[in-house]
Structure 1
Amino acid sequence: MDDSDEVDEFAVEDSDSLSDRPSELRLCRSCATLVDADGQGEGMLVSTAVNLKYEKFSSEIIVLLLICGTCSKYQAIWYRNKWTSFDSFLQISNHPTTITLQVTSLKSRICLWILSQVLHNQFDLSENETHMQFLPPPSNEFARLLIQNGNVIGFYSVKQKGALYRGSTMDRYQMNMVDTIYIRKEHRNQGLGILLIEDALDISPGHDLGFSSPVSESLLYVLKKLLIQHPALRDKIWLCDFTGCEGYKRSAWYEIKASLQ
């Protein structure tokens, strides 16, 4: 399938079909507002268009999303001429394995957007954690999806060594730097966080790996487990500000040791 075919999968071929409401979408997953098959009831499901920048195209890609008229949270995506739940969209194969996949195709880029902007920002964060929302992922940022049993359940993104620091024309990242890392709540505490960090280390074997500050307590906990298990990595993992140059990086292991005292 080429890129233009992928774009067509998100196009609205029949405007009348926009009123279709699959039964799985009648109950808002956030506020439990009930909507009947005609879009009436306690609340309404309304469509909204989102422009996604995709580096392979000169213009933005418009993706149609369904939102709950009561709580304003996303509910589904228009895909292959029907409303599709996010869980269904994120099921991309039937392979019973756990793998990572680099984001290169349009669908994988949209999977990344759904994970960061919908599942993380709207459903996994509490009202007191809105300051932890992810920014929309840049169209050209290196990212890999985490896939378990055919379902996309997480991702991490990396500012690559040598890339320009955001907004700068001169300053460049001094090491690969993990900018965001996310695993859906129901799949946590399975060792998958360590798997993602090890995967990021494998991008440039033997080289330093930074993590953009601020680093969450949960990520520090995962780093602690990793560095206790693998002492050889203790001088390779850094907590970074700015580009991670001298004066803007701190040893993750030293900070973890200090917290243990």
Structure 2
Amino acid sequence: QLQLFEDDHPACAVLALHPPDDQTQVVALYLHEKWWRLDDVLRTSIGSRSGFIPVKVQSVVERVIVFLLSRVVERPPSPGEASFSLHPRTESCKLLWRDKQAVGFYTIKHKGSLCDSWSSCCYLLPVLDTLLVRRSCRRRGFGLQILEDFCSMFSSEEFLGVSSPLSPSMAAVVRRFLLQHQEHRERLYEVEAPGGWTQRQNIWLNIQLGRYSFHQVRMGFSFRFY
């Protein structure tokens, strides 16, 4: 069984089929009373998802896909990439579809949502928290499109956050985005929860001051914050 969410009961698990010689690999999942290959789970027959489509995660199957992308499909992580921990079952996510195939996801901490399960602190601004693009789909501009989707989703907010710390690859993507979209240079901040003014730094200013290391940038990116 594979547990889908952090600190959850056994009912939120899915049966997995492993090769006899490698229990860390998953070749199939048991969903809707039948076994499915991973590639089939990561595809959709919905015709409207033929272009680059960010879709809000709502169904159980969509949350299974987010789990597969973060914990199964892209393992082991590339050198310099962080491993993903399990997401909360109520995590706000968007799946990224390209030609009817799930190519990645990103998660959001909404303004006013709790920062954790043990305090009453709430986020003071919307925050792009975690992001992953599949290795086979990188260097196609998806990271820039994700940032554009995130910024447009909260167009009425004066300030937006990206969870700290920014990896070198993510900092490079944000730099490219801000070079193309000057209107967001004063909006995007690197933030620590809950995102008060003492917990945020303007990303464009940090770029100008040389506070990010770009020489380690690889051919793609994924990041997870704790």
Establish whether TM, by shorter chain, passes 0.5.
yes
Q: Which runs of 5+ in 2 are unaligned?
A: 213-226
Q: 1:184 pairs with 134, 142, 149, which one? A: 134
Q: Distance in 2 between matches of 1:129 and 1:226?
A: 22
* 3-state SS, counterpart of residue 250 of structure 1: strand
* 3-state SS, counterpart of residue 198 of structure 2: coil
Amino acid at match of 1:153: V
Cα displacement (A) at 1:214:
1.7
Q: Give structure 1 regions of 4+ aligned residues with deviation exceeding 6 angstroms.
A: none
* 3-state SS, counterpart of residue 68 of structure 1: coil
- Asked if 1:115 is matched to 2:69, the reply is yes
TM-score computed with the length of structure 2 as normaliser? 0.83
TM-score computed with the length of structure 1 as normaliser? 0.73
Amino acid at match of 2:72: V
Of 185-194 and 60-69, deviating more is 60-69
Q: Which runs of 5+ in 1 are unaligned?
A: 1-48
Cα displacement (A) at 1:73:
2.1
Q: Distance in 2 between matches of 1:100 and 1:241?
A: 25
Amino acid at match of 1:182: L
Relative contact order: is structure 1 or structure 2 higher (C-alpha 8 Å, sep ≥ 6)? 2
Q: How many percent of aligned residue pairs carry the same amino acid?
A: 26
Q: 2:167 pairs with 209, 212, 216, which one? A: 216
Q: 2:19 pairs with 49, 68, 84, which one? A: 68
What residue in structure 2 maps to residue 174 of structure 1?
124
Greater share of helix residues, 1 or 2?
Answer: 1
Paired residues, number: 207
Aligned CA-pair RMSD: 2.4
Q: How does 1:242-253 map to 2 (within 5 A)?
A: 242-253=193-204
* 1:210-230 CA distance string (max 9 Å, x none): 111121111111100110011
- Rg larger in 1 or in 2? 1
- Alignment CA distance shift 1:256-1:70 (3 Å): farther
Q: 2:114 pairs with 142, 164, 167, which one? A: 164
Cα displacement (A) at 1:147:
0.2
Cα displacement (A) at 1:94:
5.5
Q: How does 1:122-161 map to 2 (within 5 A)?
A: 122-123=75-76, 125-126=77-78, 128-129=79-80, 132-161=82-111
Q: Distance in 2 between matches of 1:141 and 1:134?
A: 14
* 3-state SS, counterpart of residue 122 of structure 2: coil
